[in-house]
Amino acid sequence: PNIYVITPTYARLEQKAELTRLSYTLQHVINLHWILVEDSYTKTPLVTRFLQKSRLSYTHLNVPTPEEYKLSDTDPNWLKPRGVLQRNAGLKWLRDNFNPSSGKGVVYFADDDNTYDLHLFEEMRFTRKVTVWPVGLVGSLRYEKPIVQDGKVTGWYTFWRPERTFAMDMAGFAINANLLLEQSEAKFSLHVKRGGLESEFLTSLGVTLDDLEPKANGCTKILVWHTRTEKSSLKNEEKMVRKYGKGSDPMIEV
Ligand code: UGA
Ligand code: MN
């Protein structure tokens, strides 16, 4: 395969729906290997069964986020970075398993809740070092994007801290897998300041602005959307039991 997609995922009511949608997208992409990393102490039966039935080439990993780094229900979502140890587990697997002599490899970090245009994967397939493109529906803007002048990235169209070296969302870039082997220590950090996750990772890879390859027609097309799924309510579950004497069947997997 030449595209390796790393996806952190965690158990919640909407997980199987998210993974179903994402897997159906990935099924349309040739030469793709999915590295799905659960934020959990064990590989859960739900995800294990899901992957077995998925018809994808995949690797199933798991690593738990320690309690003190987890968001609580009342925390604002920007307080702590998410998916950090899971992406790092994916990177470690690639460093152990990617063989550069078998051809080129491209690594993309695809969160389980975003929406991906299939053309995005063809844009990233020929990544020399780092490819970049706009991301829709993010940063409380219609989109965020790299600013491109004469084919080069010169800065960032983003409201929030545009002075960051790489002011992009996770969905906005892909890297050549050889970079991981060359920069064997590069990884995501749990200790970044707000909005620093992507920028500090790319910095740890030894990347400079000059290395960035603008894609998606000079960064003018939106091929990925930072969609977020509404939390589903279960408020009628208990009321069902009280009013009708019978609630939902726990044996039915949702
Ligand atoms: C934004 C970015 O798009 C993420 O790439 C970045 O990780 C995140 O901010 C951050 O600040 O850490 P957002 O939509 O707010 O994303 O985050 P989520 O989609 O909730 O989480 C990102 C990924 O981590 C998802 O694939 C999710 O399944 C996973 N995750 C989330 C876990 O593995 N464990 C968790 O406890 C929460
Ligand atoms: Mn998300």
**Which residue's CA is the closest to the ligand 1 atom numbered 10?**
81
Q: Is 200 in the pocket of ligand 1 (CB under 6 A)?
A: no
Q: List the CATH code of the domain at 3-244.
A: 3.90.550.10
Task: Note the pLDDT of residue 78.
Answer: 83
Give pLDDT tens digits for 29-57.
999 999 999 999 999 999 999 999 999 99
**Closest-lying ligand 1 atom to the alpha carbon of residue 18:** 28
Half-sphere exposure of 206 (CA within 13 A, CB side): 11
Query: Which listed ligand is nearest to 10 at the C-alpha?
Result: 1
Give pLDDT tens digits for 71-85.
888 888 888 999 999
Q: Is 169 in the pocket of ligand 1 (CB under 6 A)?
A: yes
Give pLDDT tens digits for 127-166.
999 999 999 999 999 999 999 999 999 999 999 999 999 9
- How high is the mean pLDDT of the chain? 97
CB-neighbour burial class of residue 202 (10 A; exposed 0-12, middle 13-18, buried 19+): buried
**Closest-lying ligand 1 atom to the alpha carbon of residue 39:** 33
How do the domains of the chain map onto residue ranges?
3-244
